[in-house]
Structure 1
Amino acid sequence: MSPVRKKRFYMVLLLLTGVSIATFLIIQAFSQNMMFFFSTTEVKQGKAPADRDFRLGGLVVNHSVQRESGSLKVHFELTDSQTPVKVEYSGILPDLFREGQGIIAKGRLNDQGVFVAKEVLAKHDENYMPPEVADSINKAQLASSEPVQP
């Protein structure tokens, strides 16, 4: 092999190695930052990951919001009209957060099965509900309804 061909071969090999490493790093970054959505029923069925963060959506159960005095810690329940899940959040809740409204919380389950939220997102107007929450509520209502007999 001539020196020019040898040099070209090593440059192509170096370029392919660089592209392979860059592709690997990009795929790793996407997989670590990907956050899946789960309904409360799916969480209770054990479909949610125990070792990583995910999004949980539903309606805040009426009369379930409990605030700890002297701290920013709040306990409440989310439901998809079928199964409630206890949620714990420490921080300032959005202004639009209230009982009976749709929210999405980001966090993970603890050992007791309580969802520990790192962030709580509330809907931004009276008519809007996050699509994931609306879909999970509709699915839960369809699953719980009995078939109509003729």
Structure 2
Amino acid sequence: MTRKSRRMYVLVVAIALLASATALVLTALDDNITYFYSPSDLKTKQVTIGRAIRLGGLVEDGTFEKLGDGLKVKFSITDGAETVAVTYQGILPDLFREGQGVITEGSLNEKGEFIAHEVLAKHDENYMPTEVIEALKASGEWRGDEEQVTE
């Protein structure tokens, strides 16, 4: 084997090893990535049943209901075009309400319902917890308007 052919052989083997390592890393990452979908995305894209995803949108008015002991709830998330039914068991965030933006993490079941294991309520940049507002007012440092969002 000449020096040039040996160098070419080492280069080909190195490229093959690098390609294999890259493929393994990408496969491992794909299994651990949680993709974000809107209700419209769920209707148009192929989503594997049971795969962990995030679903975001607004809680549709009139769809919230408590089931059983009160920890299990059902509601719908909409993006204005499509709606997805969501079931969640657990304590909801304080800011959760109909018409509010939410992000849920969970998976689709065979019926097309989204089973959430985590619910996050979104708020705008003007939100401030009631306790903080009261503390600022008590100290005389409050500079906000009286119509501050405090739910």
TM-score (norm 2): 0.64
Aligned length in residues: 126
**Residues 85-141 of structure 1 deviation map (CA, whole Å, 9 limit, x = unaligned):** 11011111111111101111111111111111121111144658xxxxxxxxxxxxx
Higher-Rg structure is 2
Instruction: Give 5+ residue unaligned stretches, structure 2.
Output: 2-13, 128-151
- Provide the C-alpha distance between the structure 2 equivalents of 1:79 and 1:110, rounded to a whole number of angstroms: 18
**Residues 6-30 of structure 1 deviation map (CA, whole Å, 9 limit, x = unaligned):** xxxxxxxxx9999777655533331
TM-score (norm 1): 0.64
Aligned to 1:88: 87
**Residues 60-96 of structure 1 deviation map (CA, whole Å, 9 limit, x = unaligned):** 0112110113141110001001221110111111111
Identical aligned pairs, as a percentage?
47
Residue of structure 2 aligned with 1:49, choices 39, 47, 65: 47
Alignment of 1:72-87 (within 5 A): 72-87=71-86
> What SS does the corresponding residue of 1:105 show, helix, strand or coil?
strand
Residues 56 and 106 in structure 1, CA contact (< 8 A), matched pair in contact too: yes
Correspondence 1:101 to 2:100 = yes
Aligned to 2:66: 67
- Provide the C-alpha distance between the structure 2 equivalents of 1:73 and 1:82, rounded to a whole number of angstroms: 26
- Letter of the 1:92 partner, please give it: I
Residues 101 and 123 in structure 2, CA contact (< 8 A), matched pair in contact too: no
- Provide the C-alpha distance between the structure 2 equivalents of 1:127 and 1:79, rounded to a whole number of angstroms: 23
- CA RMSD, aligned part only? 3.1
- Provide the C-alpha distance between the structure 1 equivalents of 2:67 and 2:30, rounded to a whole number of angstroms: 36
